[in-house]
Every structure is written in structure tokens, then in C-alpha cells.
């Protein structure tokens, strides 16, 4: 039952952070391309998921807290595959084929790269 509460609380925090990022990009940075917001959020979230998994393996922090509250709850709701999918479909429908495929390519490549960097940060720095 406690893990359910970890996910619920973390999910509300992650969704609120995600919404805040989209407002920041839209209102304060004047980025009219919402897919850039989604791309940056997914890259940041991918790095943090990788880094949190690294912490799971190297620190004495309770695994349930990190796994359910941070990884599944906060970061799972912070990153957004469904928005990424919708934005790509909208680009394809609008016949922005090159933009859609570049978005797909960079999302996949950069998110995997930043997850890898997060997992191996100690090796990269040292």
C-alpha cells in the first residue's frame, strides 16, 4: 500500500512539474514550438531516471522510495511519451514530414544518450 502512495504522490509532483515546464517554455521563453518543450522535458527526465538508477546501485537509500516515488511517480509522469506521440502524429497530418522524423530521431537518440550518461555519470566524470 505504501508503494501505491509513493507513486500517487510522486505522480502528482511530476505532472505539476511537467505542466510548469510547458508554461515556462510557452510564456517566458516564447517558444511557439511545443514539441521543443516535450523534447527537453524527456531529455531531462531520461537523464534523471538513469542517474536515479545509478543511485539505487551505489547508495544506501531505500529502493522502494527511489523506485516508486522518484522513478515511477515523479519522473514517470514528468516525461511524456503520449504527448511525444500526439505531436508527431499532428506533424505528419500537417504534412511536416521532415520535422516529424527529425523530432522522432532526436527524441530517441538524445533520450537514450542522456539515460546512458545518467547511468554512467561517475565513469564519465572520473
Model confidence pLDDT, tens digit, residues 4-32: 999 999 999 999 999 998 888 777 766 66
* Residues 6 or more apart whose Cβ sits within 8 Å of residue 11: 72, 73, 74, 76, 77
State the pTM of this model.
Answer: 0.87
Predicted confidence at residue 29, as pLDDT, reads: 67
| Res 53 pLDDT > 80 | yes
Q: With bands split at pLDDT 50, 70 and 90, how would you rate the model's confidence at 68?
A: very high
* 30 SS3 class: coil
Structural contact between residues 69 and 9, judged by C-beta atoms closer than 8 angstroms: yes
Q: With bands split at pLDDT 50, 70 and 90, how would you rate the model's confidence at 60?
A: low
3-state secondary structure 33-84: CHHHHHHHHHHHHHHHHHHHHHHHHHCCCCHHHHHHHHHHHHHHHHCCHHHH
Averaged pLDDT, 29-38? 74
Phi, psi of 80 (to 5 degrees): -150, 100
Model confidence pLDDT, tens digit, residues 77-109: 999 899 899 999 999 999 999 999 999 999 999
Residue 77's alpha-carbon distances to 39, 72, 98, in angstroms, are 14, 7, 28
Amino acid at each position: 500500500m505504501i508503494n501505491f502512495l509513493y507513486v500517487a504522490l510522486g505522480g502528482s509532483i511530476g505532472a505539476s512539474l511537467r505542466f510548469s515546464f510547458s508554461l515556462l517554455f510557452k510564456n517566458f521563453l516564447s517558444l511557439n514550438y511545443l514539441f521543443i518543450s516535450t523534447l527537453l522535458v524527456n531529455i531531462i527526465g531520461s537523464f534523471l531516471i538513469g542517474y536515479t538508477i545509478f543511485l539505487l546501485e551505489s547508495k544506501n537509500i531505500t529502493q522502494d522510495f527511489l523506485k516508486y516515488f522518484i522513478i515511477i511517480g515523479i519522473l514517470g509522469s514528468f516525461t511524456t511519451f503520449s504527448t511525444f506521440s500526439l505531436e508527431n502524429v499532428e506533424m505528419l497530418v500537417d504534412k511536416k514530414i521532415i520535422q516529424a522524423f527529425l523530432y522522432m530521431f532526436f527524441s530517441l537518440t538524445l533520450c537514450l544518450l542522456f539515460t546512458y550518461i545518467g547511468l554512467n555519470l561517475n565513469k564519465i566524470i572520473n
